Amino acid sequence: MYQNLIAGEWLDGASAAANHNPSDISDVIGEYAQASAEQTAAAIDAASGAFDAWSKSGIQTRADALDGIGNEILARKDELGDMLAREEGKTLPEAVGEVARAGQIFKFFGGEALRIRGESIASVRPGVEVEVTRQPLGVIGIITPWNFPIAIPAWKIAPALAYGNCVVFKPASLVPGSAWNLADIISRAGLPEGVFNLVMGSGGLVGDAILNDSRIDGVSFTGSVTTGARVSAICAARGAKFQLEMGGKNPLVILDDAPLETAVDCAISGAFFSTGQRCTASSRLIVAEAIHDRFVDAVVAGIKELKVDDARKAGTQIGPVVDQGQLDQDLDYIKTGQDEGATLAWGGERLSRDTEGYYISPALFTNTRNNMRINREEIFGPVASVIKVKDYDEAVAVANDTEFGLSAGICTTSLKAASAFKRDAKAGMVMVNLPTAGVDYHVPFGGTKGSSYGSREQGSYAAEFYTIVKTAYTLPE
């Protein structure tokens, strides 16, 4: 039984839930404690109680703790990556890469703890001094999705702790193993009791208890648009700070002057790697007429060769989708696309492998229009659509015609078109000759429109969420 961490103690939950391997559903990874509402309240109580001392702790203490956590994650990346691939279904190299990223994030924020800055501003009143400083926000509720089980928790927990906040962390129910491993490492980093708490359990119970507790000063949420709307309504009603990272329907524009090989690589890796289960996945491939047929032929040839199998098997390029619900959703969208009149150029079939798992072949739709449901709604699986356009102007109009605005990419050899796209794309992140997915860990991450709300995550911009600006006036006597 893997327990919750509340007020520095490892505790059983009110019940337990099994963690399943999507590559082999007969493989039960372990039983994980499910916290009750009372236990969640106890974790919040502990975090509130620990806040005063932690907020005043020395920055060297915080820097050393975060650096140590990062070092242990990096040293154990293969073992932690194995757990991640086993419970989430991304391939072993992708999982090990994600774990390494989590380690780097902790080390980066260890450094950020030493770089907390303020400002001295001249006063309009002679002799008065004005200082602007950043103070920790308080107790942060962190609610994360299943698709990046260690990197997303890392990019929320590390800055929260670096800036002197206390944390109540609720991971996604489908991936408690990586969350528990991370909590285990944090629990040995020398933080005072209650500064960091892990409460595994369902969103409707544990998540809801976090959102509604007035002692939670801020909520950092990543997940679906539906849950994000709930987080926003509850936090806004009680005046708590919140940030939301939600879905995407990211366009990748291929202009007729694009280097074909680069464009095909960007499309295949952006749309299908990590089994397409990325908020930044390139799900709409917007392709200029002159290159359209060559591009489609090359992408179909490429995805036919992709090896779909057990996430931890050597040579696997695409693992299973995460669970039965996600598989059903992907297959439903394949049918929806066909019913809407799109051509299924390849894939979208349930696959059997040596073990029973949630395997589906990567799917490419052609002859699609941007107003089809498959191009409006986030599928969150290995499914992409091609939309044919005349030129740059039509491509940009189609790219921006979406409720989302997370990431947008363009493949072109024209500096003029690349520069124009960086300006014109209504997205928080723009990629030129790169896949829409795949970002650095030390720079801001986030979107526009329905994809995101609130201040940016990651890099030094994380301070915007995890601190409050205070203005102090002094008249020296």
User: Contact with ligand NAP (CB under 6 A): which of 143, 150, 386, 389?
Assistant: 143
What is the rounded distance in angstroms from the CA atom of residue 13 to the CA atom of residue 395?
52
Q: Order across the sheet with 383-389: list the strands.
A: 343-346, 363-366, 383-389, 282-288, 250-254, 407-411, 429-432
- Residue 168: phi and psi, rounded to 5, are -120, 115
Q: Which is nearer to ligand NAP, 146 or 196 (CB)?
A: 146
Indicate whether 282 belongs to the interface with ligand NAP (CB under 6 A): no
User: Contact with ligand NAP (CB under 6 A): which of 146, 196, 421, 441?
Assistant: 146
Binding mask 193-232 for ligand NAP (x = CB under 6 A): ---------xxx--xx--x----------xxx--x--x--
User: Contact with ligand NAP (CB under 6 A): which of 245, 265, 310, 330?
Assistant: 245
Q: E strands of 348-382, at which residues?
A: 350-351, 359-360, 363-366
Nearest C-alpha neighbor of 243 from the set 109, 94, 379, 143: 143
Token duo for residue 154 = 């890392």
Quick one: which segment of 6-14, 168-176, 263-271, 346-354 binds ligand NAP (CB under 6 A)?
168-176
What is the rounded distance in angstroms from the CA atom of residue 23 to the CA atom of residue 323?
9
| 3-state secondary structure labels for all residues of 87-142 | HHCCCHHHHHHHHHHHHHHHHHHHHHHCCCCCEEEECCCCCCEEEEEEEECCEEEE
Hunting for tokens 């390494």 — which residue is that?
Answer: 100
Catalytic, out of 87, 94, 112, 245: 245
Q: Which is nearer to ligand NAP, 142 or 195 (CB)?
A: 142
Counting residues that bind ligand NAP (by CB under 6 A) gives 29
Q: Which is nearer to ligand NAP, 18 or 290 (CB)?
A: 18
The total of other beta-carbon atoms located within 10 Å of residue 358's CB is: 23
What is the rounded distance in angstroms from the CA atom of residue 430 to the CA atom of residue 17?
40
Q: Which is nearer to ligand NAP, 380 or 421 (CB)?
A: 380
Minimum separation from the CB atom of position 432 to ligand NAP (A): 21
Minimum separation from the CB atom of position 172 to ligand NAP (A): 4
Q: Does the active-site annotation cover 94?
A: no
Minimum separation from the CB atom of position 467 to ligand NAP (A): 21
Identify residues 248-277 at the interface with ligand NAP (CB under 6 A). Answer: 248
Indicate whether 406 belongs to the interface with ligand NAP (CB under 6 A): yes
Minimum separation from the CB atom of position 196 to ligand NAP (A): 17
Minimum separation from the CB atom of position 183 to ligand NAP (A): 15
What is the rounded distance in angstroms from the CA atom of residue 374 to the CA atom of residue 383?
9
User: Contact with ligand NAP (CB under 6 A): which of 35, 42, 172, 255?
Assistant: 172
User: Contact with ligand NAP (CB under 6 A): which of 247, 270, 319, 337?
Assistant: 247
Q: Which is nearer to ligand NAP, 144 or 366 (CB)?
A: 144
CA angle 40, 46, 47 (to 5 degrees): 90
Nearest C-alpha neighbor of 69 from the set 191, 166, 172, 176: 191
Q: E strands of 233-349, at which residues?
A: 241-245, 250-254, 282-288, 343-346
Catalytic, out of 166, 279, 411, 457: 279
Q: Does the active-site annotation cover 166?
A: no
Minimum separation from the CB atom of position 404 to ligand NAP (A): 9
Identify residues 380-399 at the interface with ligand NAP (CB under 6 A). Answer: 380
Nearest C-alpha neighbor of 22 from the set 345, 308, 386, 254: 308
Binding mask 78-117 for ligand NAP (x = CB under 6 A): ----------------------------------------
Report the relative pairing of strands 241-245 and 359-360 from DSSP bridges: unpaired
3-class secondary-structure state, position 270: helix
Minimum separation from the CB atom of position 289 to ligand NAP (A): 31
Q: What is the DSSP string of 147-188?
A: SSTTHHHHHHHHHHHHTT-EEEEE--TT-HHHHHHHHHHHHT
Nearest C-alpha neighbor of 140 from the set 231, 15, 58: 231
Identify residues 434-463 at the interface with ligand NAP (CB under 6 A). Answer: 451
Indicate whether 378 belongs to the interface with ligand NAP (CB under 6 A): yes
Minimum separation from the CB atom of position 155 to ligand NAP (A): 9
Indicate whether 145 belongs to the interface with ligand NAP (CB under 6 A): yes
CA angle 327, 429, 166 (to 5 degrees): 80
Inter-residue contact 311 to 85 (CB < 8 Å) = yes
Binding site for ligand NAP (CB under 6 A): 143-148, 170, 172-173, 202-204, 207-208, 211, 222-224, 227, 230, 245-248, 279, 378, 380, 406, 451
**Catalytic site positions:** 245, 279
